[in-house]
Amino acid sequence: MKKKKLLWITSILLVFLAIWGLLQLDLQQKRTVDGIDLSHHNTVTDWDKVNVKFIYAKATEGKSHKDSKYNSYRKNATKRGIPFGAYHFLSTNVSAKKQFQNFKNAVPKGSTTLIPMLDIEGKLSISNDNLHALVGGWIKECHDYYGVYPLLYFSPSHYKRLMGTPNFWKCQIWFGAIDSRWDIITFNTAKIVQFKMDKVDGISGRIDCNHLNGSLDDIKMN
């Protein structure tokens, strides 16, 4: 009896794994590389070969750091008519107000075609209450200044920690979800999914590749 039960459980698991594998393959086939995100770590070798629907570039980090390649990325993308957005890399030890001041100084109104993005990465070694206040503060500053709610970029592992953030549900989500264990969740719920690193024409090395769910209009500035 025990052997039969074990065989039955094993069979169920094998069927489940087979279905999971087929779903993964289906999702992989549906994904397209719609957009890329860049920082000073990347090198564009030939802008005329870069053929994507959108580009986000790192503009700032913390209260004073400005990315050395941001202005070059913005000018080249704009010149070629590629929808362009800027992002801020969050520091957990600086106030939201000071961080947003740094961002808006680098990204004046009207200088981008896509809504801002807040990049939330790392161990986030602060309490949930402080994290909610920090991220919520940046969201409010962004909405007050630009009139839009930002994209929030984070890994699925940070989802639960961020859910209590003020105005969290008014923001669109960009999942840094290269880990395939999260594919079904991220593919169906996020506006943008960073699903692999790969070569892109005109850029040296492998870079972050992103899939857009829905219309590009959803992330355009008003």
Domains in the chain: boundaries: 1-30, 33-219
The pTM assigned to this predicted structure is 0.85
Residue 13 identity? L
Identify how many contiguous H helices and E strands the chain contains and give both numbers.
6, 11
How do 206-212 and 35-38 pair as beta strands? Answer: antiparallel
CATH architecture designation of domain 33-219: Alpha-Beta Barrel (3.20)
Residue 220 is classified by DSSP as: B
pLDDT, averaged across the chain: 87
Work out whether the CA dihedral 109, 168, 179, 182 comes out positive or negative.
negative
Per residue in 87-104, pLDDT (tens digit) is 999 999 999 999 999 999
Work out whether the CA dihedral 110, 114, 118, 121 comes out positive or negative.
negative
Q: Which pLDDT score is estimated for 22?
A: 39
Q: Where are the alpha helices (DSSP H) in the chain?
A: 2-30, 70-79, 96-106, 128-146, 159-162, 183-189
- 192 three-class SS: strand
Q: Which pLDDT score is estimated for 98?
A: 98
The winner for highest mean pLDDT among 107-111, 158-162, 187-191 is 107-111
Residue 150 is classified by DSSP as: P
Inter-residue contact 135 to 103 (CB < 8 Å): no
Phi and psi at 39, nearest 5°, equal -150, -170
Q: For residue 95, give the nearest of 140, 158, 160 by alpha carbon.
A: 140
On the CB side of 42, CA atoms within 13 Å amount to 28
The winner for highest mean pLDDT among 6-20, 106-120, 164-178 is 106-120
